[in-house]
């Protein structure tokens, strides 16, 4: 997948996505956020919008990640987020954060090197972060008091497990709680 950053905030371009193929398509027409896309054969297959955090301009806040409906589950979202964050660190950002509202996005961002901060937004989203001092996306994650990163990953999953989830989401969370954490490898890094 080719990744292109279309623009950085505050001068982000409008991006028109097919609302029937991409979740959150309407959020990409705003011009105050930066946009990046992943393309294959000239077609957009994934997109992300982002801006500096309102309370910490040295932190990049990923606002929305979307993958075309026929390409979900292929790892395109984590790959795009990884490339964007690496480029943001090259531009001087110290950290990146994203708030997720479902266990699929939680695992996808974990695969992109983000870790659960044990924070929640007022909209019941879990906040994940990645630090610039580990732009390769491993070993930087918040740890529990015993230094166990996997316990932090599991803590986020347990928060989702206590929520009113659909059957597929419940099964997904249960399988992750019974197994190993998602692999962080296998994401092609930005050249």
Summarised one tens digit per residue, pLDDT across range 22-60 is: 999 999 998 889 999 999 999 999 999 999 999 999 999
Q: Does the residue 139 lie in any domain? A: yes
User: Is 103 in the same domain as 145?
Assistant: yes
User: Is 99 in the same domain as 179?
Assistant: yes
Q: Does the residue 83 lie in any domain? A: no
User: Is 57 in the same domain as 100?
Assistant: no
User: Is 27 in the same domain as 107?
Assistant: no
Vertex 113: Cα angle to 109 and 119 (nearest 5): 65
pTM above 0.85, yes or no: yes
Tokens of 98: 């994203």
Res 182: pLDDT: 75
User: Is 31 in the same domain as 67?
Assistant: yes
User: Is 57 in the same domain as 30?
Assistant: yes
Instruction: Summarize the confidence of residues 183-189 as an average pLDDT.
Output: 57
User: Is 100 in the same domain as 151?
Assistant: yes
Domain boundary among 76, 109, 143: 76
Q: Does the residue 86 lie in any domain? A: no
Which pLDDT tens digit goes with each residue over 106-154? 999 998 989 999 999 988 899 999 999 864 444 444 544 555 566 788 9
Boundaries of domain holding 102: 94-183
User: Is 69 in the same domain as 98?
Assistant: no
Res 138: pLDDT: 44
User: Is 61 in the same domain as 108?
Assistant: no
pLDDT mean across residues, the chain: 88
Which pLDDT tens digit goes with each residue over 74-105? 999 999 999 999 999 999 999 999 999 999 99
Domain boundary among 42, 76, 110: 76
**Region label for 42, one of left (φ > 0), alpha (ψ between -120 and 50) or beta (otherwise):** left
Task: Evaluate if residue 5 carries a pLDDT over 70.
Answer: yes
Res 189: pLDDT: 46
Q: Does the residue 87 lie in any domain? A: no
Tokens of 5: 């950053």
Three-state SS for the chain is CEEEEEECCCCCCCCCCCCCCCCCHHHHHCCCCEEEEEEECCEEEEEEEEEECCCCCCEEEEEEEEECHHHCCCCHHHHHHHHHHHHHHHCCCCEEEEEECCHHHHHHHHHCCCEEEEEECCCCCEEEEEEHHHCCCCCCCCCCCCCCHHHHHHHHHHHHHCCCCCHHHHHHHHHHHHCCCCCCCCCCCCC
Show Cβ contacts of residue 22 under 8 Å, excluding neighbours closer than 6 positions. 28, 47, 66, 67, 68, 69
- Separation between Cα atoms, residue 182 and residue 191, nearest integer Å: 24
């Amino acid at each position: 997948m080719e990744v292109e950053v279309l623009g950085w905030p505050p001068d982000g371009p409008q991006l028109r996505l097919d609302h029937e193929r991409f979740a959150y398509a309407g959020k990409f027409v705003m011009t105050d956020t930066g946009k990046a896309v992943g393309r294959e054969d000239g077609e957009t297959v994934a997109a992300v919008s982002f801006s500096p955090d309102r309370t910490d301009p040295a932190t990049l806040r990923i606002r929305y990640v979307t993958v075309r409906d026929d390409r979900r589950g292929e790892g395109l979202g984590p790959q795009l987020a990884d490339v964007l964050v690496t480029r943001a660190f090259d531009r001087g950002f110290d950290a990146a954060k994203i708030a997720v509202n479902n266990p699929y996005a939680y695992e996808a961002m974990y695969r992109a090197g983000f870790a659960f901060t044990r924070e929640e937004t007022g909209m019941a989203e879990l906040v994940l972060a990645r630090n610039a001092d580990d732009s390769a996306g491993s070993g930087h994650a918040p740890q529990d008091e015993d230094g166990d990163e996997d316990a932090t990953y599991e803590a986020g999953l347990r928060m989702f497990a206590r929520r009113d989830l659909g059957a597929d989401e419940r099964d997904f969370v249960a399988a992750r709680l019974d197994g190993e954490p998602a692999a962080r490898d296998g994401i092609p890094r930005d050249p």
